[in-house]
Chains A and B, each alone.
Chain A
Amino acid sequence: MIINVILSLISANLLIFIIFLSKKIQKIKNEKCVLDQQLVQSQKLAAIGQLSSGIAHEINNPLAIINQEAEISLHLLDSTNLKFEEQNKELKDSLSQIKIQIKRCREITHRLLSFARKNDPIIQQTDVNALIEDMALLVEKEAKLKSIVLIRKYSPELPLINTDPPLLRQVILNLLNNAMQAIEKEGEIFITTSFNPSKIEISIKDTGSGISKRNLDKIFDPFFTTKPPGKGTGLGLSICIAIINKLGGNINVESKEGQGSNFIINLPIFYTF
């Protein structure tokens, strides 16, 4: 009888213990899953970064030569007396077009190079609220024209952090610009900052079109874009995540199609390599 009671007590406790353990395991599994995803993402970025910066570098030199030759040709056309005025004009137009297209290519190669820039961040003590506000002011005029309202919720006690200010500015401006494009017309962008003892959090949330589940996994991939050809290089967000990773932080996205998106940046207060 007593043995039975003891046994049932043990088994009850054992059951509780097993439930506790399995919950713990599930939690660790989930965390591992997130970490694995981040690892794959950062490895993928590193590989593509290396490849693309190599290509960008190699293409820049021939581009520079083509540009120079086009300039020389334009110059020659100006100084020679061509009989046929109409052909002369057509030649000039076509050379100018070459120059325009070279500029476009150079824009892409520069973005690629900045994406994979090897130099280490320069760390300065930074007031993140002020940094974000500067970028908010920069987009506000354009936002007003589209009836988009920026709503700030800056934590007044946000600590200064050690980070690379121009790199962080680039990310904030990119995310604000994306938020504006996702809204198109009439909507709100919420900019929030908060912190805990080791990290600060920046959230940029819009009431725009949101991201479909299918696209959510791909938005940080280089060259992934939902914009029509020529309207976006698809490098914006991949540059953002590469920068934030370099600064010791991470970006998470919460989004549902038709219900807007929330981009959440975590950054360490004390930066270490």
Chain B
Amino acid sequence: MAEIPEHLLRRSAQAKAKALGVPVEQVLAEMSGGTATAVPEAQATAAAPSPTPSAAPARTAPAIPEGVRTQRLLTVVKAKAIQQVKRDPTDKVSVWPHLLAMEFVALLVVTALLVIFSVFQDAPLLELANPNAQPNPSKAPWYFLGLQELLSYFDPQVAGVLIPGLGLAALAAIPFVDRNRSTRPSDRKFAIMMFTFFVISAAILTMIGSFYRGTGFNFTFPWRDGIFFDL
């Protein structure tokens, strides 16, 4: 059996002593078992007469054989643990129909828009690939055009590997760097500012790479020279 913490034993003894109207030491001695009874018993009898004479017969009433314990401690439940079981009531709604209906409508709307767009706009298919005829300009898929744009400012190792690699690592590290627990926008102005800055820079670079780069990946204006860009 696990050892009962000293302070818990003491608290329990105090409560019992108060209920029975006997001194604490006497109850403690009874709790700690047969061996320790001898010495405190003597003290208890010395101190006992003062509170009430009726306390003594009340104590001896149940006939318990010598050396038999009638109760034991199974576990100690801390007050905190009991409180954690209770959760704050939250305002909840059934997924069916409230969420599922909305998801189904969203799905239908996107499918419809996609089908309509696909009916009127064909996917590009140029002539057969020819490794000997590089088109001018050659552009990566649109989501890499920001990186391709960076290639015209930085060394290829920096723009092609370092920036995207570090960018992805930094993105994944956001929750471990930003230890601010609050989700209120007013508490996280710096985080929002930084993220918005990087998202907008990426968007601007991608736009420039897509629309403002023409022959030889030189700067152009789309309204003057047309768009050198295919999805």
A interacts with B: no
Listed in ascending order, the chain A residues whose CB lies under 8 Å from chain B are: none
